[in-house]
Amino acid sequence: MIEKLKKYKFLFEELVKRDFKKKYKRTVLGMLWSLLSPLLTLAVMSLVFTNLFGRTTVHYTIYLFAGNIVFAYFREATYTGMSSLVANASIFTKVNVPKYIFLLSQNVSSFINFCLTLLIFFLFAAFDGVAFTWKFILLIYPIACLVIFNLGIGLILSALFVFYKDTQYLYDIFIMLLMYLSAIFYKVDTFSMTAQQLFMLNPIYVYITYFRSIVLDSAIPSLSIQILCVVYALAAILLGGWIYKKYNYKFLYYL
């Protein structure tokens, strides 16, 4: 494993560079734009929803923002990850390289993007008078889980996209439904207890809840949330890894 990592380190670096250059078209504006777009989403959402849900919630913009950055990172990482196999078919059908390396390099730029929006999020939080405590360090844990979760979903989707060309459209619908189910702009406490429990089945909701709990309530989430974070991440990455292993030599026939 270490041998392999060493061997493909250079390829990984070059792929990351390639993906970055292609994504931002070598312009500063390109980079700025990818920061601007979550901010614009936030602006519109807070404009629309503050009247509806915001009156009873303190730090509503931060509440909204926390949901948005987590969800936006998930969406971007999995969307770009989905095409990582198909888009690089002309490479891995011609040279023997590990196929997951394309997904890894795609995820690097999504992650950097996420980190930048996270900084802006903290700035907003500071402006809004959120108290920063030592507990913020704990955010590393859900972020690590989210990174792994996104990688896992990326593995699964990229494999599905090779097999079924309409995966993209189905995923479009799925991700829209998921967004409404992730309690990004509303609060779940108006739902019954059972319904609130059901929300926990949505991994993204769990990660968002972790963020909000630390940032808004400066409370350490319950043990069940801690466990769910890592269980979802591991389940996704193991399933994705298993699919890649099983179909490693079969992808070729579909491209």
Partner 1 sequence: MVVELQHVSIRYMVGDFKDIGLKDYIIRKLKGTFTVNEFLAVDDVTFSLEKGDLLGIVGTNGAGKSTLLKAITGIMRPTEGYVKVTGNIAAFLELASGFDGDLTVRENTYLRGAMLGYTHEFMDEMYEEIIAFSELEEFQDRPFKHLSSGMKSRIAFSIACLVNPDILILDEVLSVGDGAFRKKSEAKMKEIIGQGATTILVSHSLEQVRNMCNKVLWLDKGKQIAFGEAKEVCDQYQRYISKK
Q: How far is the CB of 43 from partner 1 (least distance, A)?
A: 32
Q: Could you give the CA distance from residue 114 to residue 251 in angstroms, rounded to a whole number?
A: 30
CB of 97 to partner 1, least distance (A): 6
Alpha-carbon distance of 220 to 200, in angstroms, equals: 17
Pairwise CA distance, residues 157 & 167, whole Å: 8
**Can you read off the two tokens belonging to residue 81?**
């990850």
Size of the site for partner 1 (CB under 8 A): 29
DSSP 220: P
Stretch that binds partner 1, among 89-97, 135-143, 184-192, 200-208 (CB under 8 A): 89-97
Which of 29, 32, 33, 93 binds partner 1 (CB under 8 A)? It is 93
User: How far is the C-alpha of 124 from the C-alpha of 21, rounded, in Å?
Assistant: 29
Site for partner 1 in 236-255 (CB under 8 A): 249, 252-254
Residue type at position 200: M
Q: Segment 168-187, which members bind partner 1 (CB under 8 A)?
A: 169-170
Which of 113, 167, 209, 213 is close enough to bind partner 1 by CB under 8 A?
167
Q: Binding to partner 1 by residue 31, rule CB under 8 A?
A: no
166 scored as a contact of partner 1 (CB under 8 A): yes
Tokens of 158: 């990229």
Cα distance between the two ends of the chain: 28
Q: How far from 191 is each of 48, 62, 186, 211, CA to CA, in Å?
A: 22, 22, 11, 20
Does the footprint of partner 1 cover residue 14 (CB under 8 A)? yes
Please choose, out of 10-18, 32-40, 48-56, 174-182, the segment that lies near partner 1 by the rule CB under 8 A: 10-18
Question: Binding of partner 1 at residue 165 (CB under 8 A)?
Answer: yes
**158 contributes a contact to partner 1 by CB under 8 A:** no
- Of 33, 127, 132, 164, the one binding partner 1 (CB under 8 A) is 164
Cα distances (Å, whole numbers) of residue 203 to 61, 62, 232: 22, 20, 6
**What is the smallest separation between the CB atom of 247 and partner 1, expressed in angstroms?**
12
- HSE-up of residue 162 (Cα within 13 Å, Cβ side): 25
Q: For residues 97 and 230, which CB has a smaller minimum distance to partner 1 in the complex? A: 97
Task: Among 53, 92, 141, 191, indicate the residue that binds partner 1 (CB under 8 A).
Answer: 92
The answer to whether residues 109 and 150 touch, using CB atoms and an 8 Å cutoff, is no
User: Residue 8: which of 102, 140, 123 has the closest Cα?
Assistant: 102
Q: Which one of 7-15, 30-38, 73-81, 204-212 is the stretch in contact with partner 1 (CB under 8 A)?
A: 7-15
**Residue 65: both structure tokens together:** 């923002």
| 90 lies in the binding site for partner 1 (CB under 8 A) | yes
- Beta carbons within 10 angstroms of residue 66's beta carbon: 25
Give the residues lining the site for partner 1 (CB under 8 A). 7, 10-11, 13-15, 17-18, 21-22, 90-97, 163-167, 169-170, 249, 252-254
